[in-house]
């Protein structure tokens, strides 16, 4: 993915923590930069969908293959499968799923939460930077809305953005009531930081363990709640529809442990399955957890839900290149927010580090492509994140505010206080997703979608700290809305929508060779399906 | 840098031979046990998620010579001759509480001992401390918790990833990780009252009251 | 059917804490001889090939010589191990309750032989009658001249004391017993140092099982040759077998060491209940194992059983008949061991807790092929780790159940 670059050892020898730095060159035309270097804009990476609710629209190539694939199961596979009934079915055990479950169960609903891996295994748990909410005196809900829309290149849905920003302060309060801790100032205020694309300090955090802190609290709250039943290691393989294939009335799960199918019937299904980094779009490394394979998009699309912005993904600027086992793993944007700069192999700044993520990402890819990057043995290239300079200007700050970063890199003998980190953009976030309203309802009756899976909030680029807010805000909204579905439940649960999708695929001349959802990346699925 | 395990990446390096779930694996140096398991085609490795040692899923028992320890596979590098077995998923915790049912914080210590009666039975075997892949001094934290020092105890669990290895290592079934989380939760629930947040919430409440008076109010 | 041999449990010796009746049956002679020739006692024990009856089968004289060779620092201890807590073992309680003086005499003979001045009776706290009998018997020794005479022979005051044990299974392990006697939690320690060098408060310490010590007076009085002739070679002397489970007459049987399983079950135990075929026998003790009908003619002594991959343990024989679920039984044992693990070693505590959970899952129809794989992998990984023998013994039981009854585990998978 590169042209040349300076070998790592040589670049390391050239690096000086005290070198004089000039300001980065003025960015004259962001669009030209994005068009030339951002992966979303690579012509080869986008195709037009042939079938489904978004037929004729642009979609990232590898995702399109998933969306237009054959189903995982046939009706015959369901013979003898045990059936469970519940008021609300939640698919996904990350932050959004847990928030939805707590909201629904808190209002008396019987909730079944089913998750592919372990409860809490999610991208939420890895979020380091923090969560946005406009709480500072010099900030306002309106500014939060504006920053979010501007960051998303005005492609976001203002109604959704407004709902989320309005929820911000209440979300923080709810999290505190559930027992989540946040950093405080000496006077007891919540500590806030400003990050890329923000007009005021608005990020709250718990050291650089914000996602972990949030996830373990929500996970414990879910486990402890009497109204919530949890099935772990149970990936969803298909949704269930009514006889006309037009309403979602349940789902089919298999088990990673014994491969058996189980059917759940319900009034409302909330999909909270997260993102798709593990599809490794455009061959990028990813910061995502192992289960992020876009299953929810596939299931929602097959049952007829409208999706959006399927050609827009966030490549986080600072994924680690070295050490190799952490390839693609994030260095939180908080480090740049705290003042860390980025340098190319020549030791020069090349972009304002706090511009929106897509622009910073494109700028890094430009440095790498034009030979100003730093190359490791296996040919991968990156640029420096100048953590020693940050440490030098604010001694002890890395240890105080970013203990996770230190612990992780030091395990492999790298100390970011004394040597810069080699970074490269990494596939981080799905900007688009399932079209929803302010309650998380999709275009398919009975089906909700929340969290990273849903689209429209972050437009075509998400700013830091809005993901954790999004999952709680819309998770809770969907949890409440889902219990107001008041029909008497499904008379019949079918795979009619699968038949309809097959018909459409066949008529469009699409091959039915590939099956989806993916569930696990191939490299991690050995022996799981054949027992 | 050359001293780090990550420095060696080339295929020319001699393989590191180890056993994972009973299967012989020839791994490359600097691989983690998770990478080695994939590389060696070890089947049915299902307890893997974040790959950066924050989710606590990939728990392994490791044997080096006669010494057997526990750790997380994604933060353990391959070594010649070691044996590893991935442990099954954690059991559901048996202690029950809902934080919303806590009303009077003067009773927190009493409630704590009702919920976690075993926490005062610590026999100081250090099993929890040895088991912690994050190096938390679990035993001291539990003793702090049992004495009502919830904030200090909770702070010690900052890096806890809920792998529950300490739970399975505790002969008194104290469930230390859940005690730690309890401490953190009650500390936040009862003590965190940030003025800047409260001020904004108050402004929003007043706006809503105004909005309710006007016909085009939303929410 | 009456036991063929009756030494320890001879009716004349089952007199409880009655010193006069004990003396009338020959009690006290061994102590008198030991007072004359303590070194000679060690020779006799060596020639008799007396073994540790608490489960280890370790040769007793080696421990004795090691302790005898040490200087007091300033004391030397003898712990009489009556922790008896293994599944299916109920012999020591009988000796303590019905023949306390026999045990005390054996202990005092040993004390003289190795030069120990503090003798601690370490008894399972749940065995109330045993505790009462030992307590009463010790009081009688204090009131009699015998103890003073023994002290004179030793050259310093012999102290007899009773210390109820902790109630933890692991407290039966010798270094754990030492910790408890010192006043701490009964944690096993790593060896070395061995108790013979540094035991209770750093003093040289001999620790022997109740049954082991009960044999001592008889060896001293009747000689090593006599003792050896009681056993069926390679076994020597007699052994108390605790027979339980699906047999007609469960109970404690004193039989020649090396009696076959067939004789024990069918001649003495009256055969299996309802005439069902024998399925397996669990031998109790810290290294449990499984015997099957093919082992019926193996002599129940330490060496013969070890040769066929089993272990005598404490001599507990828990008989199960056809129709008994092996998975359920092993799951029950594993729960016991998981509960008993002291916590110091992750290998043991995490290992037993994990194995117990997996076995429970399999037993209750929730187990998967992956669970069974994990159990087998743990059986390969765990043995020999940990500072005491618990994890190895536990794995030995599970492993032997896999070897003999793998199909039952397979069938239980969902």
Q: How many CB atoms lie within 10 A of CB A81?
A: 14
The model's pLDDT over A212-259, given as tens digits with 9 standing for 90+, comes to: 999 999 999 999 999 999 999 999 999 999 999 999 999 999 999 888
Contact C350 B87 (CB under 8 A): yes
As a whole number, mean pLDDT of residues A294-300 equals 98
Whether C162 and C134 have beta carbons less than 8 Å apart is answered as yes
The model's pLDDT over B40-90, given as tens digits with 9 standing for 90+, comes to: 999 989 899 999 999 999 999 999 999 999 999 999 999 999 999 999 998
Confidence class of residue A490 from pLDDT cuts 50, 70 and 90? low
Confidence class of residue B216 from pLDDT cuts 50, 70 and 90? low
First-last CA distance in chain A:
38
> Is C369 in CB contact (< 8 Å) with chain A?
yes
Burial of A468 (0-12, 13-18, 19+ CB in 10 A): buried
**B-chain residues near A179 (CB < 8 A):** 99, 181, 184-189
Residue of B nearest to A527 (CA): B43
Mutation site, B37, B68, B138, interface C, largest C CB count within 10 A: B68
Q: Tell me whether residue A458 is one of the annotated catalytic residues.
A: no
Rounded distance, CA C340 to CA C347, Å?
Answer: 14
Walk along chain C (414 residues) in steps of 10 and give the mean pLDDT of each run. Answer: 70 95 96 96 97 93 97 97 93 97 98 98 97 98 96 96 96 95 95 95 98 98 96 95 96 96 96 94 78 95 91 93 94 94 96 97 93 96 92 92 95 90
| Confidence at residue A486, expressed as pLDDT on a 0 to 100 scale | 66
- Return the CATH fold of A6-37+314-427: Flavocytochrome C3; Chain A, domain 1 (3.90.700)
Q: Which of A12, A35, A24, A56 is nearest to A342 (CA)?
A: A24
Cβ-proximal residues to C12 (8 Å cutoff; 6+ apart), any chain: C25
Chains interfacing with B (3 or more CB pairs < 8 Å): A, C
Can you spell out the DSSP letters for A500-512? HHHHHHHHTT---
CATH code of the domain made up of C231-321 = 3.10.20.600
Tell me which architecture the domain covering C326-412 has in CATH.
Up-down Bundle (1.20)
Rounded distance, CA A335 to CA A199, Å?
Answer: 18
Task: Quote the minimal CA–CA distance from A502 to chain B in Å.
Answer: 31
Q: Where are the domains of chain B?
A: 5-86, 99-191
**C-chain residues near B168 (CB < 8 A):** 349-350, 353-354
Q: Tell me whether residue A424 is one of the annotated catalytic residues.
A: no
| Confidence at residue A43, expressed as pLDDT on a 0 to 100 scale | 77
Residues 322-381 of C with CB under 8 A from B: 341-347, 349-351, 353-354, 357-358, 370-371, 373-374, 376-378, 380-381
Residues in a beta bridge with C243: C251, C317
Rounded distance, CA A329 to CA A312, Å?
Answer: 20
Task: Quote the minimal CA–CA distance from A140 to chain B in Å.
Answer: 9
CATH 3.30.450.20 for domain C11-229, yes or no, is no
Residue of A nearest to B97 (CA): A224
Confidence class of residue A465 from pLDDT cuts 50, 70 and 90? very high
Rounded distance, CA A284 to CA A316, Å?
Answer: 11
Contact B170 C377 (CB under 8 A): no
The DSSP 8-state label assigned to residue A161 in this structure reads H
As a whole number, mean pLDDT of residues B188-195 equals 97
The tokens describing C381, both together, are 């990984």
Mutation site, A81, A257, A525, A526, interface C, largest C CB count within 10 A: A257
Residues 151-210 of C with CB under 8 A from B: 185, 187
Rounded distance, CA A452 to CA A309, Å?
Answer: 13
Residues 66-85 of C with CB under 8 A from A: none
Burial of B94 (0-12, 13-18, 19+ CB in 10 A): exposed
Residues in a beta bridge with A426: A316
Whether A68 and A47 have beta carbons less than 8 Å apart is answered as no
| Confidence at residue B214, expressed as pLDDT on a 0 to 100 scale | 62
Q: Could you say which of C342, C345, C357 has the minimum Cβ distance to residue B91?
A: C357
Task: Quote the minimal CA–CA distance from B19 to chain A in Å.
Answer: 17
Mean pLDDT of chain A: 94
Confidence class of residue A446 from pLDDT cuts 50, 70 and 90? very high
Residue of B nearest to A221 (CA): B98
Cβ-proximal residues to B112 (8 Å cutoff; 6+ apart), any chain: B119, B145, B146, B148, B150, B182, B186
- Which residues of chain A are in CATH 3.50.50.60 domains? 75-121+210-312+431-482
- The proportion of chain A whose per-residue pLDDT surpasses 90, expressed as a percent, equals 86
Active-site annotation holder among A316, A357, A424, A476: A316
Helix, strand, coil percentages (3-state) for chain C, rounded to 5, are 50, 15, 35
Residue, of C299 and A196, whose pLDDT is higher: C299
> Is C373 in CB contact (< 8 Å) with chain A?
no
- Which residues of chain A are in CATH 3.90.700.10 domains? 6-37+314-427
Contact B46 A257 (CB under 8 A): yes
The model's pLDDT over A309-328, given as tens digits with 9 standing for 90+, comes to: 999 999 999 999 988 889 99
Contact B68 C345 (CB under 8 A): yes
H or E element at residue C108: helix C100-114
Cβ-proximal residues to B156 (8 Å cutoff; 6+ apart), any chain: B136, B137, B138, B140, B141, B144, B180
> Is C414 in CB contact (< 8 Å) with chain A?
yes
Residue A81 above 70 pLDDT?
yes
Contact B61 C351 (CB under 8 A): yes
> Is C105 in CB contact (< 8 Å) with chain B?
no
CATH code of the domain made up of A75-121+210-312+431-482 = 3.50.50.60
Please identify, in words, the CATH class of the domain defined by B5-86: alpha beta
The DSSP 8-state label assigned to residue C155 in this structure reads T
Active-site annotation holder among A322, A336, A366, A389: A336
Q: Where are the domains of chain C?
A: 11-229, 231-321, 326-412
Mutation site, B36, B46, B132, B207, interface A, largest A CB count within 10 A: B46
Confidence class of residue B156 from pLDDT cuts 50, 70 and 90? very high
| Confidence at residue C106, expressed as pLDDT on a 0 to 100 scale | 98
The model's pLDDT over B92-141, given as tens digits with 9 standing for 90+, comes to: 888 999 999 998 999 999 999 999 999 999 999 999 999 999 999 999 99
| Confidence at residue A489, expressed as pLDDT on a 0 to 100 scale | 59
Contact B21 C357 (CB under 8 A): no
Size of interface A-B (CB pairs under 8 A): 195
The model's pLDDT over B5-40, given as tens digits with 9 standing for 90+, comes to: 333 344 567 899 999 999 999 999 889 999 999 999
| Confidence at residue A323, expressed as pLDDT on a 0 to 100 scale | 87
Q: Could you say which of A135, A166, A412 has the minimum Cβ distance to residue B5?
A: A412
Q: Which of A156, A168, A236 is nearest to A200 (CA)?
A: A168
Cα distances from C256 to residues A32, C25, C231, in angstroms, run 96, 22, 4
| Confidence at residue A157, expressed as pLDDT on a 0 to 100 scale | 98
- The radius of gyration of chain C from alpha carbons, rounded to an integer in Å, stands at 21
> Is C413 in CB contact (< 8 Å) with chain B?
no
């Amino acid at each position: 993915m590169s042209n040349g670059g300076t070998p790592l050892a040589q670049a390391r020898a050239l690096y000086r923590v005290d070198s004089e730095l000039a300001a980065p060159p003025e960015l004259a035309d962001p669009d030209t930069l994005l068009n030339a270097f951002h992966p979303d804009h690579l012509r080869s990476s986008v195709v037009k969908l042939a079938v489904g609710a978004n037929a004729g629209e642009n979609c990232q190539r590898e995702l399109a293959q998933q969306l237009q694939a054959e189903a995982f199961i046939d009706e015959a596979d369901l013979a003898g499968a045990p059936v469970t009934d519940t008021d609300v079915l939640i698919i996904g055990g990350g932050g959004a799923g847990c928030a939805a479950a707590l909201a629904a169960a808190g209002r008396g609903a019987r909730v079944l939460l089913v998750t592919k891996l372990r409860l809490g295994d999610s991208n939420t748990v890895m979020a380091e930077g923090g969560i946005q909410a406009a709480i500072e005196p010099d900030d306002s809900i309106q500014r939060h809305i504006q920053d979010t829309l501007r960051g998303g290149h005005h492609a976001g849905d203002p109604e959704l953005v407004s709902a989320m920003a309005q929820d911000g302060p209440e979300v923080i309060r709810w999290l505190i009531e559930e027992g989540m801790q946040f950093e405080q100032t000496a006077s007891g205020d919540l500590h806030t930081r400003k990050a890329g694309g923000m007009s005021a300090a608005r990020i709250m955090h718990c050291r650089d363990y914000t996602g972990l802190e949030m996830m373990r609290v929500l996970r414990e709250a879910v486990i402890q709640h009497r109204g919530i039943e949890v099935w772990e290691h149970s990936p969803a393989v298909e949704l269930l529809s009514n006889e006309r294939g037009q309403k979602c009335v349940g789902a089919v799960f298999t088990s990673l442990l014994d491969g058996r199918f189980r059917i759940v019937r319900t009034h409302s299904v909330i999909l909270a399955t997260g993102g798709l980094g593990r599809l490794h779009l455009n061959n990028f490394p990813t910061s995502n957890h192992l289960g992020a394979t876009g299953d929810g998009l596939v299931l929602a699309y097959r049952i007829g839900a409208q999706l959006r912005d399927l050609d827009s993904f966030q490549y986080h600027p600072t994924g680690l290149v070295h050490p190799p086992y952490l390839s693609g793993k994030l260095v939180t944007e908080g480090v740049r927010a705290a003042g860390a700069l980025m340098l190319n192999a020549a030791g020069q700044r090349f972009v304002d580090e706090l511009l929106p993520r897509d622009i910073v990402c494109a700028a890094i890819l430009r440095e790498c492509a034009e030979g100003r990057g730093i190359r490791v043995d296996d040919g991968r290239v990156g640029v420096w994140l100048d953590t020693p300079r940050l440490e030098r200007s604010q001694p002890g700050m890395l240890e105080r505010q970013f203990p996770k970063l230190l612990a992780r890199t030091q395990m492999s003998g790298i100390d970011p206080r004394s040597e810069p980190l080699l970074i490269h953009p990494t596939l981080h976030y799905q900007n688009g997703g399932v079209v929803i309203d302010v309650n998380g309802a999709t275009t398919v009756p009975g089906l909700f979608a929340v969290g990273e899976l849903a689209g429209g909030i972050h437009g075509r680029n998400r700013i830091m700290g809005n993901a954790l807010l999004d999952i709680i805000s819309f998770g809770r909204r969907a949890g409440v809305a889902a219990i107001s579905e008041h029909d008497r439940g499904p008379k019949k649960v079918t795979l009619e929508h699968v038949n309809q999708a097959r018909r459409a695929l066949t008529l469009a001349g699409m091959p039915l060779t590939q099956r989806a959802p993916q569930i696990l990346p191939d490299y991690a699925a050995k022996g799981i399906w054949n027992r | 840098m050359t001293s780090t395990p990550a420095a060696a990446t080339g295929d020319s390096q001699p393989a590191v031979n180890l056993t994972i779930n009973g299967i012989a694996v020839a791994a490359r140096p600097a691989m983690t046990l998770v990478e080695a398991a994939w590389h060696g085609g070890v089947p049915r490795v299902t307890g893997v998620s974040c790959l950066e040692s924050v989710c606590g899923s990939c728990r392994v028992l490791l044997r080096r010579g006669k010494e057997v320890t526990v750790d997380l596979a994604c933060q353990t590098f391959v070594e010649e001759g070691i044996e590893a077995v991935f442990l099954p998923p954690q059991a559901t915790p048996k202690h029950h509480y809902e934080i919303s049912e806590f009303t009077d914080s003067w009773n927190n210590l009493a409630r704590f001992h009702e919920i976690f009666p075993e926490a005062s039975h610590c026999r100081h075997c250090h099993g929890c401390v040895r088991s912690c892949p994050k190096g938390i001094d679990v035993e001291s934290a539990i003793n702090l918790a049992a004495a009502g020092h919830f904030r200090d105890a909770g702070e010690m669990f900052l890096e806890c990833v809920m792998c529950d290895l300490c739970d399975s290592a505790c002969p008194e079934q104290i469930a230390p990780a859940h005690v730690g989380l309890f401490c953190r939760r009650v500390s936040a629930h009862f003590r965190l009252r940030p003025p800047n947040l409260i001020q904004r919430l108050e402004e929003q409440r007043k706006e809503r009251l105004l909005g309710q008076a006007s016909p085009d109010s939303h929410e | 059917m009456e036991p063929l041999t009756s030494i320890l449990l001879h009716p004349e010796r089952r007199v409880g804490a009655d010193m006069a009746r004990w003396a009338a049956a020959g009690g006290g002679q061994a102590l008198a001889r030991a007072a004359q020739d303590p070194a000679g006692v060690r020779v006799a024990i060596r020639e008799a090939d007396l073994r540790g009856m608490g489960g280890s089968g370790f040769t007793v004289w080696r421990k004795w010589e090691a302790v005898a060779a040490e200087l007091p620092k300033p004391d030397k201890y003898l712990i009489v191990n009556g922790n008896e807590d293994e599944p299916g073992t109920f012999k020591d309680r009988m000796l303590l309750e019905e023949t306390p003086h026999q045990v005390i005499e054996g202990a005092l003979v040993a004390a003289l032989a190795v030069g120990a001045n503090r003798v601690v009776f370490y008894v399972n706290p749940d065995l109330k009658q045993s505790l009462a009998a030992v307590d009463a018997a010790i009081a009688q020794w204090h009131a009699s001249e015998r103890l003073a005479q023994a002290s004179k022979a030793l050259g310093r005051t012999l102290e007899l004391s009773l210390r109820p044990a902790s109630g933890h299974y692991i407290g039966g392990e010798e270094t754990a017993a030492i910790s408890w006697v010192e006043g701490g939690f009964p944690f096993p320690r790593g060896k070395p140092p061995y108790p013979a060098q540094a035991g209770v408060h750093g003093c040289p310490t001999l620790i022997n099982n109740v049954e082991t010590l009960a044999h001592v007076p008889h060896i001293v009085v009747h000689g090593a040759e006599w003792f050896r002739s009681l056993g069926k070679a390679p076994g020597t002397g007699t052994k108390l077998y605790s027979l339980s489970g699906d047999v007609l007459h469960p109970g404690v049987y004193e039989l020649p060491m090396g009696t076959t399983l067939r004789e024990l079950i069918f001649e003495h135990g009256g055969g299996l209940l309802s005439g069902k075929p024998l399925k397996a026998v669990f031998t109790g003790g810290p290294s449990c194992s499984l015997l099957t009908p093919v082992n019926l003619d193996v002599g129940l002594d330490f060496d013969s059983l070890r040769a066929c991959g089993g272990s005598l343990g404490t001599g507990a024989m828990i008989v199960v008949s056809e129709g008994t679920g092996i998975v359920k039984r092993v799951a029950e044992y594993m729960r016991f061991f998981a509960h008993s693990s002291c916590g110091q070693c992750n290998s043991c505590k995490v290992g037993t807790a994990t194995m117990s959970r997996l076995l429970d899952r399999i037993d209750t129809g929730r187990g998967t092929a992956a669970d069974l794989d994990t159990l087998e992998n743990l059986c390969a990984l765990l043995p020999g780790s940990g500072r005491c023998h618990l994890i190895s013994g536990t794995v030995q039981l599970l492993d032997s159940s896999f070897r003999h009854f793998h199909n039952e585990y397979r069938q239980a998978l969902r």
